[in-house]
Amino acid sequence: MTDGQDGAVTAAASNRDIARLTALHGLMARIRAFERAAETGQTRGSVLGAVHLSIGQEAVAAGVCAQLRRDDLLLSTHRGHGHTLAKGADARAMMLELLGKAGGTSNGRGGSMHIADFSVGMLGANGVVSANIPIAVGAAQAIRLKGGDQVVVCLFGDGAINRGPFMEGLNWAKVFNLPVLFVCEDNGWSATTRTSELTAGDGAAARARSMDVTAIEIDGNDLALVDETAREVVARLRAGDGPILIHARTYRLLGHTASDTAGYRPAGEAEGRWEGDPMRRNRAVLEAAGVGAHEIDALEQAATDEMTRALDDAEAAPFAPAALAFDDVQDAGAPTRFWTREG
C-alpha cells in the first residue's frame, strides 16, 4: 500500500494475498447469485414488492464487511442484500425474508428493503435515503457510552449526500470522535437521475473534509483495493481515530429496481461498464496469479447452487403467521389527547 490523499491507499499487485482474494471472490459470487435468485423469484411472483439489486457493486460489500467482527454494527440502504450477506447473515433466512415466509431474518416483516439480522450486527437496511446515517451515529454514540471497542459501518449511496442527515450525521460523529466508517457507495445514479446533475461541489469526500472528517477516495470495483483500504480504516477506528469516510466509485449495472429497464441511460452506457465489473476484474487478477479457471468456475457454480436451493426452499415454506405482525410493536398505551382547538 502507498499513502495518498488523507491516507488513501493503492493496492500493490505484488503484495496481493491471492488466497484471500479467492475467498472474497467466492463471497462476491454468493452476493451476485443471491440477487439473481431474488430476481428470478420476482419474475415468478414469489418475491413481492420492489427489489433493488447491487449487481456490479459487490466488491464494496465484500471488501468492507470482510474486516468486521460479528459484534461490529452495520447499517445499509434499500440496496442491502449484499451488505447483509457479507456481514454473515444466513442466505436461506434472507431469502425467506424476501418472500415474507416464517423463519425469515425478521419473520417476513421486513422484506427486501428493510432486511436486518441483529444476530450478526446487521441493524437494518432502510427504505428512506440517508435515514440510516443518524441511526449509525446513534449506535456509535451508544458504543462510546458503554465503553465498547466495536465499530459501526454505514453504507449509503451518492444520492444520500444531498440530504440533510448526511451533514448532520458526519458533524455529530466528528464532534464526538465516534467510531463510524461512512461508506459512500457511488454508483453514479440517484434512482433514475444522474447524480452529478444534482450535486454541487466535489461530492462526498469534499463535504466530509469540510468538517475535518478524513476522507479516502477509491475505485470501488477494485476488490483488493477496497479490502486493503477498509482493513486499514477499521484498524484506525478501533484505535480511536474516527470517524472516517470512504468514497468508493462503482457502477450499478442494472436498473434501479429489478423491474427497471433503465431506459433513461444513454444507449450502450451500461453495456460498456460490464468491462469494469468487479467480478470480471478480480477473476482476471486471480487467473494472472495462477488460480485455475476451473477453481473459479467451481466457486461461482457453488454460489449459484446455494442460492437456487435457498429460493426453492423459501418458495416451499409457509408464510409467517399473521399474528406475528404485532410482535415487537411498542405498546405506548391508549392514545392521549394532548391538544384541542380550545387549547
Binned average pLDDT, 10 residues per bin, the chain of 343 residues: 43 75 98 98 94 97 98 97 98 97 95 96 96 98 96 98 98 98 97 95 97 98 98 97 97 95 94 96 97 98 98 97 84 65 53
- Tell me the one-letter amino acid at 297: D
User: Phi and psi of 152, rounded to 5°?
Assistant: -115, 130
With contact defined as beta carbons under 8 Å apart, do 241 and 6 qualify?
no
Least Cα distance to 217 among 191, 194, 255, 247 occurs for 247
pLDDT of residue 341: 56
DSSP 56-86: T-HHHHHHHHTT--TTSEEE--SS-HHHHHH
Q: Which residues contact 118 (CB under 8 A, 6 or more apart)?
A: none
With contact defined as beta carbons under 8 Å apart, do 46 and 124 qualify?
no
Integer Cα distance of 135 and 149 in angstroms: 18
pLDDT of residue 328: 81
Cis geometry, peptide bond prior to residue 243 (ω within 30 degrees of 0): yes
Q: Which helix (H) or strand (E) holds 306?
A: helix 293-316
Integer Cα distance of 212 and 312 in angstroms: 49
pLDDT of residue 323: 87
Least Cα distance to 184 among 151, 223, 158, 159 occurs for 158
CA torsion 5→10→15→16, rounded to 10°? 140
pLDDT of residue 16: 84
Full-model pTM: 0.92
User: Phi and psi of 222, rounded to 5°?
Assistant: -95, 100
211 CB burial (10 A radius; 0-12, 13-18, 19+): middle
pLDDT of residue 55: 97
